[in-house]
Structure 1
Amino acid sequence: MSGERRLALAASPTEQAQVAAADLRQRYDWVPIGEAELVVALGGDGFLLQTLHAMLDRHRALPVFGMNLGTVGFLMNEWSPDLLESRILRARSFTVTPLRMTATTVSGEVVTYAAINEVSLLRETRQTARLEVTVNGRVVLPELVCDGVLAATPAGSTAYNLSAHGPILPLDSSLIALTPISAFRPRRWRGAILPDRTRIGFRVLDPVKRPVSAVADQREVRDVATVEVAIDRSSTLTLLFDPEHALDDRITMEQFVI
C-alpha cells in the first residue's frame, strides 16, 4: 500500500464480503495479520466484534478500520474500494475499553470473557430469573425478578441495551448502563447509570429451578451462579472512522431517531 502502515485484510464469510475482499486484494498490498499494524475488516457489526475479540484473545489489539458489508453496520464505515489509503490517513480514532465478565457456574467452573458491547444475564427457561444485584460489594437490589439484565459500555449502549429501553451513553462518558430486561419486580425500576470504575455483581437466587445464562457479546456461559462485571483497563481497542461518519456523532444522533 503506501508503505507507511502494513495492513491486513479480514472479511466475513458472506458472499458479498468475499467479493469485496477479492477486489481489495487486487487493488492493494496486504500482509498477514501477524505482521500488520492495522486491520481492515469487511462485514457487519457482528463480524467486527468477532475480529476485535480475536485480537483480544491473541493479546495484540491492532487498530481496525471496518467497512460495512452487513446489515446494520453501526460500528462500520461505508463500503468503498477507492482511495483506501487516504481514508485511513484521515480517519478519526476512538478507544474502546471492554468489560470483563467473570462467571461462576453452578458446578463451580469459572469462565472469564471480554465484552465490547454488553454483558447480559438471561433466563434459560420459561420461568423468570431471580437475581441479587450488587454495586461495589453493596447489595442494591435484594431481588430482581426479570427476563434478564445487562451491563453495557458506551459503544454498546445503542445495541441490545437500547432495544431493552436502556439509555444511550456518549462515547467519552466513562459510564456503564445497567438495564433490566422485562423486569417484573421491582416493576418501576428502569435501570441505573454507573461510573465505569464500578464493580457490578449478580447472584442467581434460584439457579437450579430458574437457570440463568451469562453472555459476553456473543459468548455464552450457561447455568451461572454468580457473575461479576467490571471495566478491564488492561485491554483497549482502537476503531477508526471516516471523519464524516465518526462513532461519537452516530451515538449522539441515535438519541434523535424517531
Structure 2
Amino acid sequence: MTAELKLALIHSPTEPAQEAAKVLRDRYEWVPIEQATMAVALGGDGFLLQTLHGMLDRRRILPVFGMNLGTVGFLMNEWSPDLLENRIERAKTFTVTPLRMEIVTVDGESVSYPAINEVSLLRETRQTAKLEVLVNDRVVMPELVCDGVLVSTPAGSTAYNLSAQGPILPLDSALIALTPISPFRPRRWRGAILPERTRIMFRVLDPVKRPVSAVADQREVRDVATVAVAIDRASSLTLLFDPEHALDDRITMEQFAV
C-alpha cells in the first residue's frame, strides 16, 4: 500500500467474511481504524449500514470500500482479494447524505438518530396509525390512516421503499421519497417525491389508542408523538465502487427488474 493510503479492515462475524479477512490480512498492510484514511468492509448490506452508523456515532467518518460476503450486496462490490489497491484507486466515489430523525415520545423524551436508507413509522398494534403530515411546517395531509409511512433517501429507495411500492430515485437526484405503507385513507394516495431540502413532520393523532413506533434504519423508538425528518448535510458519507459496478448504474437497472 502507498504511504498516503492507510486502510483499516473491518468484517462481519459470519464465517465467509472472517475467512476473507484472513486472506486480505496476509496480502496487505492494515492499520487500526483510528489511524486509517479509508476502510474496507467485508459483509453484506446490513453490515455496511452498521459500519456507517458506527462511524456516525463516533463522529469519525471514513470513505468505505465494501466487498460482498453477504446475500444481496446491493451496496457492495464483488469479493476478490486481488489488486485491492488498484481497485480502490480506480473506484468511483459516491456521497450518501443520511436523514436525521428527531422524535418526541408520548412521555416527552427527545431522541435523534441518523438514517442512511429510510425513516419509517409503523403501527404497534392491530389498530391502524392515524397521522398528520406536514411539509415545511405546512399541513399537507390532515389525516393519513395507514399501517405506516416512510421517508427514503435515493440510496435507500430500492430497499424498504421499493417493497412498499415507492419510487426508485437516482442517486444524484437530490430528492427524497415519502411513501405510505398500506394506506387506508386516503386510499388512492401513493406518496410524494420531494426536494431533499424538505423537512417532513408527522404527528400521531391518537398515540394512546393507536401507538406508533419510528425506525431509523434498524434503530426503533416506540410510542412516538411527533417525528421530524430532514437531510443531515453535516454527516455526509462516502462509498467507493468499482466503475463497472457503480451504485447509480445499479439503481437505474432496478427500474427494469422483473
- Give the TM-score range, shorter chain: over 0.9
Deviation, 1:2, is 2.9
Which residue of structure 2 aligns with residue 7 of structure 1? 7
Deviation, 1:3, is 2.6
Report the AA paired with residue 47 of structure 1. F
Which residue of structure 1 aligns with residue 70 of structure 2? 70
Query: Are 1:105 and 2:97 matched, yes or no?
Result: no
Report the AA paired with residue 166 of structure 1. G
Which residue of structure 2 aligns with residue 133 of structure 1? 133
Report the AA paired with residue 40 of structure 2. V
Which residue of structure 1 aligns with residue 208 of structure 2? 208
Q: Alpha-carbon deviations, 1:134-171, whole Å to 9, x = none?
A: 00001111111101000000000000000000000000
Deviation, 1:60, is 1.4
Partners of 2:23 and 2:208 in 1: CA distance? 52
Which residue of structure 2 aligns with residue 199 of structure 1? 199
Partners of 1:4 and 1:104 in 2: CA distance? 44
Which residue of structure 1 aligns with residue 174 of structure 2? 174
Deviation, 1:52, is 0.5
Report the AA paired with residue 235 of structure 2. S
Aligned ranges 1:86-105 → 2 under 5 Å: 86-105=86-105
TM-align CA RMSD? 0.6
Q: Alpha-carbon deviations, 1:23-73, whole Å to 9, x = none?
A: 111111100000000000000000000100111111111000000001110
Which residue of structure 2 aligns with residue 240 of structure 1? 240
Counterpart of 1:103 in 2: which secondary structure?
strand
Counterpart of 1:180 in 2: which secondary structure?
strand
Partners of 1:81 and 1:127 in 2: CA distance? 51
Q: Alpha-carbon deviations, 1:190-232, whole Å to 9, x = none?
A: 0000000000000001111111000000111111000000001
Report the AA paired with residue 246 of structure 1. A
Gaps of at least 5 residues in structure 1 are none
Counterpart of 2:253 in 1: which secondary structure?
helix
Gaps of at least 5 residues in structure 2 are none
Which residue of structure 1 aligns with residue 17 of structure 2? 17
Which residue of structure 2 aligns with residue 49 of structure 1? 49
Partners of 1:25 and 1:2 in 2: CA distance? 16
Partners of 1:96 and 1:79 in 2: CA distance? 22
Report the AA paired with residue 133 of structure 1. V
Partners of 2:128 and 2:13 in 1: CA distance? 37
Tell me the TM-score normalised to structure 2 length: 0.99
Report the AA paired with residue 204 of structure 1. V
Tell me the TM-score normalised to structure 1 length: 0.99
Counterpart of 1:234 in 2: which secondary structure?
helix
Counterpart of 1:183 in 2: which secondary structure?
strand
Which residue of structure 1 aligns with residue 152 of structure 2? 152
Deviation, 1:234, is 0.9
Partners of 1:99 and 1:63 in 2: CA distance? 18
Which residue of structure 2 aligns with residue 162 of structure 1? 162
Paired residues, what number?
Answer: 258
Partners of 1:197 and 1:125 in 2: CA distance? 33
Partners of 1:224 and 1:131 in 2: CA distance? 11
Deviation, 1:4, is 2.8
Partners of 1:108 and 1:30 in 2: CA distance? 46
Partners of 1:65 and 1:231 in 2: CA distance? 23
